[in-house]
Amino acid sequence: MTMDQALKPWQLNRRCDPEQLPFATTAELPDLTEIIGQDRALEALRFGISIANSGFNIYALGPSGIGKHTLVTQLLAEPAQRRSPPSDWCYVNNFDDPRRPRAMALPPGRGRVLRDDMARLIEDLKTAIPAAFESNEYRARAQEIEEEFKEKQEKAIAELQHQAQEKTIDLIRTPSGFAFAPTRNGEVLSPEEFERLPEKEQEGISKTVAQLQEKLRAVIRQVPQWRQESRDKLRALNREVAISAAEHPIHGLREKYADLPQVVTYLDATQEDIIANIDDFRQREEPQPSLLALAGDHAPSFRRYEVNVLVDRGSTPGVPVLYEDNPTFQNLAGGLEHVAMMGALLTDFTLIKAGALHRANGGYLLLDARKVLTQPFAWEALKRALRSREMRIESVERLLSLASTVSLEPEPIPLDVKVVILGDRLLYYLLCEYDPDFADLFKVAADFEDTLERTPESQQRFAQLIATIARKNQLIPFKRDAVARVIEHSSRMSGDTAKLSTHLRGVADLLHEADYFARAAAAQTVDTVHVQQAIEAQERRSGRLKEQVQDAMQRGAILITTGGAVTGQVNGLSVIELGGYAFGIPHRITARVRLGEGEVIDIEREVELGGPLHSKGVLILSGYLGAHYSPDMPLSLSASLVSEQSYGQVEGDSASSAELYALLSALSGIPVKQSLAVTGSVNQQGEIQAIGGVNEKIEGFFDVCKRRGLTGEQGVLIPAANVQNLMLRSDVVEAAEQGLFHVFPVATVDQGIALLTGIPAGEPDEDGAYPENSLNGSVQARLKEMAALRQAYAEHGKDKEVL
Amino acid sequence: MSSGDGAFVIRRILVDVDASQASIGVLETAAALAAGWHAELSGIFVEDINLLRLAGLPFARELAWSSAAEVNLDYQRMERVLRGRATHARQAVISVTTQLKLRGSLQIVRGHVAEELLQAARGVDLVILGKGGPAPGNRIGAVERRIAEEAPCSVLLVSQDAIRRRGPIMVSFAGQEHERYLLSAAVQVARFERHALLVMIPSDNEADYKRLCHQARQLLEEESWSATYQAVKAPDRRFYQRLIREEEVAVLVLDGMREKAVDLENVLATLDCSVLLVR
């Protein structure tokens, strides 16, 4: 092995030089006012916020924890403060049709004032109206009407009585009415006396009685009319008294709200209703709400004069910036509450509740894509409101026709809101693909970057960001060495030496944890050691599975050799990612070869444990073998490849180079050094291509070797293209510095196999033949041998029997 | 019973029960007072001879007040009706006397109502009967008038309109000796029926008013009762009418010995409250 091919220790981890950071601790640094590394998203957001047209709502896409919410809130704060506050919105009773409450817009703060004014008005009227009706004047006039009615009856009866008495007939009260009877000296004639009268007189009496009865009947028939007249008069009197009692206070309000015609109209309607329902006010006590009271039809209840202030903008300057954390259908679009009364569910306009759309109306509404999409009906409700640009109060039960309780259809409220949805990229692309309305309603995409370029300037600003987070969260200041370590960790998180991660939550978490360790050590400032402790603690906390796997390797339950040489066997590397934590482990890849029809069998695929990318990698191998070694003859091998002791799904093509090396070793019979591990995918040309998770993979093999004792022979072959991704742990770098562990960048299969076997791969001559003592030469010779053997079998017609 | 001998004492009450809804209210009032005085309650139901005679006439027709429906009357039917009402009256009397643990009885007689009542009023201390009813033409009928004028004892005419009123009991006090008796009667009714007492003091000047108030207060103190006082100057009927309406007076207490017959009829016809004539 030529160790000089290995990467230099400084190439394994791009350090952040504290000398480049011109401060002692973060306490010296000013707060970061701008947002770093999100220029594209920033531009989109500024555009989306400024443009007034409808449909230009914003979808801010990027992984969670990247600071979308903070950035959007920060950007909205200024325009929200600058703009003048939107209207208050109230719902009031619709006296013409209580099922359709009216919506009223009032200047900010005046909704509440109107509500209090109305409450006071009704309270005042509750005393003023009974007082007016208890006044001597009213009582006298009412009594007069009553007297007049009684007198009319009395007079009519007295008149009749008089007429009767002239003819010696009396009006007699019977148990249920009146009758006429002839009298003598105040006594009714007995039937016998009547009999004794002359017949003519009898007839006369009968006739007179009949006439009188007719007259009495006429009087009695008139009574209901008189009563009606009397009632009408009383009603007119009541109305007159009511108007005089109510007029003054309502007129005061009318003047106060003269600039708001809608309120004046409402006050007029209220006055009419109060006068029409004056009896409600005449009772001293509040009438008990009855079943029908809430239904609003025959309601002797004062609720109908209340003002339901749905949105009160009085106390907050500027327009609202609202984040709805729980965007259920009701929380978003508002709803109707019900009260249970005698087993029925009732509602009225005072039970209309505002949703986030109402509260954010005129301003900005922030929503979480995942939350709004997972809440039933919420997404549809949001789109409906944005499309129609008005908010209707609808209940889910009614939408689904599940319930037919007494319900309302409140007048819709015009909507003017800018919605900013925060969500991950996948949801954005899915919505674009499957929701035809989405593109119309969310025209602005603010795409957040996961990483930013790592330059001295950006490192300086990153330091400022650390200072800002530390200050905001009352963390103790960070020394510049500690800052440098955080920057390195951020670079490692981004998986690129030339980048920094913009994942703010990850950074903030690390700062908090480092602060914890610093405080535990009673330090005044956070130092590198505390940051390192925090990083290691994070790894330890998530490292249970990793340790179990490594224990299994140490004990030999999982077979991994880290020394010696074996034919057809290579240490591959893979990454396991669980719960946001990724670690690498080596695994054994073996190849077996025999005479066959030129197929390379991927055992993983045969048992359906290999994913499509893995299968693709393996299939490429046949292409490589055929083109590389036997363009002119049939490929006459049957090779089988397997990832040993793998009991789950295998995906990705990063092991394809390792598989190829195993295959070449098996074909050539030349053993492969087990002190090396391999990662990288391969193409048909034999070039090694970049893979992901290179740091974890190297560290995974390093950890196994370290437990067994580093020999100085051990190392990992990585694609040359991955060198820029190296941000290895400090212990790996230290081992490299001491010559105990090596990382080899490999660009081609030939380079790789030479490193693994210690035998040069060999270059082909003009005819495509490789030198005999080269590895490629051995492979070619073996393939030729197989082809010849197969041909021999074919000539004897024994192919089928043999194979 | 005579005035001037101090407290107003009632031992036997006669109440006219005709079994109408109105007269049940009167019966209840009478029972409450009887309980207060620990008096015996005698009910009387008079089968009006005039009604029976009327029913016997060939052309007899009854016109219902509420519906103007015409019903033929006949003797048997009228008898049946009266019998039914008598039964009802008996049950009502039994019910209130049992409830209030009173000594009570009901006599059923046939005859002219006023005469039978006057007859029965001999030997009782107080006659109670209704005044006015649902039908007009009878705010003060012949029967009430005669009893009020001729009964040898005190008479309480219970107004149908005022029966549920919670206003005060009103009495006038000008310092005369016989008025002490009126005051005593008013206090007792107020106490038993749980009303306030309003004492009218007819006076021309402040000094008179104060003196009379003082006197009245002293008298009331003997009865452990208190009242509100109001000075009145030359009160006429209109004044009383207005006052009764405004104060919602429940019972007006008058001197039944001194009110002239003509005046009495007027008072009874025009004042819209119950009236207690003290004799």
Q: What is the CATH number of the domain that holds A8?
A: 1.10.8.60
Structural domain for A475, as ranges: 3-37+449-542
Closest CA to A659 of A601, A731, A730: A601
Residue in chain A nearest B140 by alpha carbon: A154
Low-confidence spans in chain A with pLDDT less than 70: 1-3, 284-300, 403-406, 797-803
The domain boundary, picked from B138, B159, B180, lies at B159
Contact A280, A290 (CB under 8 A): no
B112 touches chain A (CB under 8 A): yes
> Which position among A697, A706, A774, A778 bears the catalytic label?
A697
Residue B222: CB partners within 8 Å, gap ≥ 6? Answer: none
Residue B270, amino acid = T
Residue A120 counted as domain residue: yes
Mutate to test the interface with B, among A176, A195, A230 (most CBs of B within 10 A): A176
**B1 within a domain of the structure (yes/no):** no
| A654 is annotated as an active-site residue | yes
Q: Is residue A375 part of a domain?
A: no
Cross-chain residue pair A205–B20, CB shorter than 8 Å: no
- Residue A598: predicted pLDDT: 81
Same domain as A652, residue A507: no
On whether residue B5 sits in a domain, the answer given is: no
Which residues in chain A have Cβ-Cβ distances shorter than 8 Å to B114?
none
B85 and A179 within 8 Å at the Cβ level: the answer is no
A70-94 burial, b if ≥16 CB within 10 A, otherwise e? ebbeebbeebbeeeebbbbbbbbbb
Nearest to B64 among A154, A176, A213 (CB): A176
Residue A198 lies in a domain: yes
Contacts of A125 (CB under 8 A, 6+ apart): A245, A246, A249, A274, A281
A290/A279 Cα distance (integer angstroms): 16
Are B64 and B120 found together in one domain?
Answer: yes
In DSSP notation, A725-738 reads: G-B--HHHHHHHHT
**Chain B residue closest to A217 (CA)?**
B68
Among B136, B245, B246, the residue with its CB nearest the CB of A150 is: B136
Same domain, A515 and A563: no
Do B27 and B138 sit in the same domain of this protein?
yes
Question: Could you tell me the CATH number of the domain that includes residue A562?
Answer: 3.30.230.10
Residues A252 and A274 in one domain: yes
| A vs B: CB pairs below 8 A | 97
Q: Which of B140, B159, B178 delimits the end of a domain?
A: B159
Strand partners for A446: A60
DSSP-derived pairing of the beta strands A177-184 and A187-188:
antiparallel
Pick from A263, A296, A315: which residue ends a domain? A315
CA-angle at B86, arms to B83 and B89, nearest 5°: 155
Tokens of A418: 């800018």
Based on the fold, state whether residues B138 and B209 are members of the same structural domain: no
Residue B7 inside a domain? The answer is: no
Q: Specify the number of domains making up chain A.
A: 3
Same domain, B173 and B152: no
Residue A121, min C-alpha distance to chain B (Å): 29
Mean pLDDT within B40-54: 90
Quote the CA–CA distance of A447 and A41 in Å, as a whole number: 5
Q: Clarify whether residues A20 and A105 are in a common domain.
A: no
pLDDT of residue B136: 52
Same domain, A532 and A667: no
Contact B63 A216 (CB under 8 A): yes
For residues B143 and B155, give the distance between their C-alpha atoms in angstroms, rounded to a whole number.
13
Q: In this predicted model, what pLDDT tens digit does every residue of B220-274 receive, in sequence order?
A: 888 888 888 888 887 677 777 778 877 888 898 988 877 665 577 677 777 778 8
Mutate: best of A135, A143, A174, A205, partner B, most B CBs <10 A: A174
Q: What are phi and psi of A180, to 5 degrees?
A: -105, 140
* Domain match, A187 and A153 both: yes
Does B137 contact A158 at a Cβ distance shorter than 8 Å?
Answer: yes
**Domain limits for position B225:** 169-278
Same structural domain, B175 and B153:
no
| CATH code, domain carrying B119 | 3.40.50.620
Choosing from A270, A292, A315, the residue where a domain stops is: A315
- B9: which 2 tokens? 């004492």
Note the pTM of the prediction, 2 decimals: 0.70
In a domain, B2, yes or no: no
Structure tokens at B84: 């039914």
Q: Are residues A640 and A531 in the same domain?
A: no
A232: nearest Cα among A149, A119, A169: A149
- In this complex, do B246 and A136 lie within 8 Å of one another by their Cβ atoms? yes
Assess whether A489 and A601 both reside in one domain: no
The C-alpha atoms of residue A398 and residue A569 are separated, in whole angstroms, by 68
Q: Are residues B17 and B41 in the same domain?
A: yes
- A494 shares its domain with A588: no
Nearest chain B residue to A188, by CA: B50
Examine residue B241 and state whether it is found in any structural domain, yes or no: yes
* Cβ contact, residue pair B68, A217, below 8 Å: yes
- Closest CB to A191 among B20, B53, B68: B53
Question: Does the annotation mark A353 as catalytic?
Answer: no
Residues B19 and B150 in one domain: yes
Judge if A643 and A786 occupy the same domain. Answer: yes
For chain B, the domain total comes to 2
Task: Specify the pLDDT at position A463.
Answer: 93
- Residues of B within 8 A of A190 (CB-CB) are 53, 56
Could you tell me if residue A348 is inside a domain? no
pLDDT, tens digit, for every residue of B136-183? 544 457 788 888 888 889 999 888 777 777 889 999 888 888 888 888
Average pLDDT, chain B: 84
- Take residue A536 and report the two structure tokens written for it: 């290691």
Distance from the A338 Cα atom to the nearest Cα atom in chain B, whole angstroms: 41
Question: Is B35 inside any structural domain?
Answer: yes
**Beta pairing, strands A177-184 & B40-48:** unpaired
CB contact under 8 A, A174 and B54: yes
- Per-residue model confidence (pLDDT) at position B4: 43
Is residue A592 located within the same domain as residue A526? no
Residues A633 and A695 in one domain: yes
**Do B73 and A179 lie within an 8 Å CB cutoff?**
yes
Last residue within a domain, chosen from B159, B186, B206: B159
Give the SS3 label for residue A230.
helix
Contact B63/A178, CB-based, under 8 Å? yes
User: Are A459 and A20 contacting, i.e. CB atoms less than 8 angstroms apart?
Assistant: yes
pLDDT of residue A366: 96
